């Protein structure tokens, strides 16, 4: 059985506990590997290795750091198919999605930040004829990076690349549910020639390995992506140590379709935004609001398209909907379907475990794409992040009503607006409380733009120079003239 070990100081190391956790393929229910059950001692060793490597790495010229990061991107490209397969087997996601989104994005993350650091500028301020102020930006030291299971390699590299591009060393703690691509990445990083200690990866549970990182006194910075509740725990431990913290948390994103929308685009993209990756993307549009005059037509086409989604073996390239990440997570999602019924909602389609699955995946954690109507915005199903293949659909009567519905949750990560009326699009985009608003599209990502959430969807922004700002500290030098 494959054993996933920690990667510390350029070496694969067993956990101090000597214990391992099972790693399950959610499509089959089979244990496919075991991973290090690490704790504070392992995190200590990783932080010590990162601290030792920091001085030389921060002094490595930007062009050299850039060259090494590009080599990592090339190594990922060379191992593209293996990584796509590992990601699919570890998380249950369709391999087509891993090929189209997860692995290409990991490559882009390294290339993007490798080149971004060659274009950094810092300001200077003249204080009349009395002084020259100039700003320098310096890496902080050891960055703590905690990533989730829904886009494992994509989100891990979204943190590792800018952290080390900016001159920090890092200790990363990937999700214990999906350690395989992080393990492969560690080997590729070593092959690319990134010096030992610059990137360290510690596997294991959030409550032990994760918390050891958020409360470690020698880790001045934490970048976290995960659930909102966990984000609060990260903040509670990092806060008293005055760490710099960036939190990318949950979402309950509205998808607003006005009567003048181009339904030929709005319908298929809304099906994607509802069910891509089984709805396990923080940016999924889980609350659909449709303007009354087109409600019936839109819903008819939306349901028809949803029924055509192919649920099946994630390793089959034609599968659209794979398995949920774990049995426990499927149970949570099913709990919300039951709650929707109690709250007076109508399950229009889905809500059940699919039957007649091929032999190989009969014990997998599958759930049909589910569409729920008839719930008020205040209901729990309309308020809480479900993070599964479940979407609610609600008619609205006016633009003001759509905005009020959109803003009626404690989340504020992203939104989509569908209309041909540009003025309305700009007005609604300005009025929605969310870090990202897409107009007539979804999930179109330019890596330069600020990315993050409002309200309980997060703290801070990453992306482009926002990431490089986060992973460095500004220092002003004032020279008297
Ligand atoms: O994620 P966790 P969970 C949402 C989604 C999901 C819910 C719970 O609604 O149902 O969160 O998912 C590490 N200190 N999202 O519980 O726990 C953990 O090991 C430090 C949204 O699986 O937030 C993993 O590496 N770290 C989301 C990472 O945090 C801790 C993506 C995320 O796991 C920790 C995933 C602790 N106390 C879930 N506890 C998004 N925004 O994309 C856990 N971790």
pLDDT tens-digit readout, 303-313: 999 999 999 99
Among 227, 331, 452, which residue has the most ligand 1 atoms within 8 Å of its CB, making it the best to mutate? 227
- Contact at 8 Å (CB) between 413 and 251? yes
Among 35, 148, 212, which residue has the most ligand 1 atoms within 8 Å of its CB, making it the best to mutate? 148
* Atom 19 of ligand 1, residue of closest alpha carbon: 206
What is the structure's pLDDT at 212? 98
Which residue ranges have their beta carbon within 6 Å of ligand 1? 146-150, 173, 175-176, 206-207, 210-211, 214, 225-227, 230, 233-234, 248-250, 282, 385, 387
- CA–CA dist 188, 457 (Å, integer): 32
- CA–CA dist 476, 324 (Å, integer): 49
* Atom 4 of ligand 1, residue of closest alpha carbon: 227
Distance 229 CA to ligand 1 centre (A): 8
* Atom 10 of ligand 1, residue of closest alpha carbon: 387
**Predicted structure pTM score:** 0.98
Rounded to the nearest 10 degrees, the angle between the axes of helix 152-165 and helix 80-91 is 120
Measured from the Cα of 325, ligand 1's closest atom is 22
**Catalytic residue from among 169, 170, 282, 377:** 282
Q: Running along the chain, 481 residues long, what does each successive block of 10 average in pLDDT? A: 98 98 98 98 99 98 98 98 98 98 98 98 97 98 98 98 98 98 98 98 98 98 98 98 98 98 98 98 98 98 98 98 98 98 98 97 98 98 98 98 98 98 98 98 97 98 96 98 97
Distance 113 CA to ligand 1 centre (A): 25
Measured from the Cα of 230, ligand 1's closest atom is 23
Annotation marks residue 282 as catalytic: yes
> Which three-class secondary structure string do you get for 151-169?
CHHHHHHHHHHHHHHCCCE
* Atom 26 of ligand 1, residue of closest alpha carbon: 210
Distance 22 CA to ligand 1 centre (A): 18
- CA–CA dist 218, 369 (Å, integer): 45
**Catalytic residue from among 248, 291, 334, 462:** 248
Among candidates 230, 90, 205, which has minimal Cα distance to 153?
A: 90
Measured from the Cα of 458, ligand 1's closest atom is 41
Measured from the Cα of 227, ligand 1's closest atom is 11
* Atom 25 of ligand 1, residue of closest alpha carbon: 175
| Alpha helix ranges (H) inside 166-293 | 180-192, 211-214, 228-238, 263-275
What is the structure's pLDDT at 50? 99
- CA–CA dist 396, 202 (Å, integer): 48
């Amino acid at each position: 059985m494959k054993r996933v070990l920690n990667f510390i100081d350029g070496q694969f190391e067993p956990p101090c506990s000597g214990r391992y956790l099972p790693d399950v393929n959610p499509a089959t229910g089979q244990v496919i590997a075991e991973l290090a059950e690490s704790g504070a001692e392992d995190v200590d060793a990783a932080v010590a290795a990162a601290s030792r490597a920091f001085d030389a790495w921060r002094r490595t010229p930007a062009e050299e750091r850039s060259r090494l990061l590009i080599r990592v991107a090339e190594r990922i490209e060379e191992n593209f198919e293996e990584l796509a397969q590992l990601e699919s087997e570890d998380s249950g996601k369709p391999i087509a999605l891993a090929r189209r989104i997860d692995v290409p994005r990991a490559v882009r993350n390294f290339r993007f930040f490798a080149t971004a650091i060659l274009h950094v500028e810092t300001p200077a301020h003249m204080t009349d004829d009395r002084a020259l102020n100039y700003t320098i930006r310096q890496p902080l030291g050891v960055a703590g990076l905690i990533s989730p299971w829904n886009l494992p390699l994509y989100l891990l590299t979204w943190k590792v690349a800018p952290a080390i591009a900016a001159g920090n060393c890092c200790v990363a703690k990937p999700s214990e549910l999906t350690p395989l691509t992080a393990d492969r990445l560690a080997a590729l990083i070593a092959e690319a020639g990134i010096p030992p200690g610059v990137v360290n990866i510690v596997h294991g549970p959030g409550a032990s390995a994760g918390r050891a990182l958020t409360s470690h006194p020698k880790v001045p910075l934490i970048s976290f992506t995960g659930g909102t509740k966990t984000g609060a725990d990260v903040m509670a431990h990092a806060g008293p140590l005055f760490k710099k913290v960036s939190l990318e948390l949950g979402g309950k994103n509205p998808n607003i379709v006005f009567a003048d929308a181009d339904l030929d685009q709005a319908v298929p993209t809304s099906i994607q935004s509802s069910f891509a990756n089984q709805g396990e993307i923080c940016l999924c549009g889980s609350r659909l609001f449709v303007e009354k005059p087109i409600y019936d037509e839109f819903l008819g086409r939306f349901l028809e398209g949803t029924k055509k989604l192919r649920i099946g073996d994630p390793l089959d390239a034609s599968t659209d909907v794979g398995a949920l990440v774990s049995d426990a997570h499927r149970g949570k999602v099913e709990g919300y379907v039951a709650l929707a019924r109690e709250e007076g909602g109508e399950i229009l389609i889905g809500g059940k475990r699919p039957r007649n699955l091929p032999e190989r995946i009969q014990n997998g954690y599958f759930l049909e794409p589910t569409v729920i109507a008839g719930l008020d915005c205040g209901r729990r199903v309309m308020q809480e992040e479900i993070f599964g293949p479940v979407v609610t659909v609600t008619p609205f009567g006016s633009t003001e009503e759509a905005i009020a519905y959109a803003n009626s949750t404690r989340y504020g990560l992203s939104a989509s607006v569908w209309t041909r009326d540009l003025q309305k699009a700009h007005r609604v985009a300005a009025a929605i409380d969310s870090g990202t608003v897409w107009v007539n599209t979804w999930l179109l990502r330019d890596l330069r733009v600020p990315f993050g959430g409002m309200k309980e969807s997060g703290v801070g922004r990453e992306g482009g120079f926002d990431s490089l700002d986060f992973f460095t500290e500004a220092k002003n030098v004032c020279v008297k003239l």
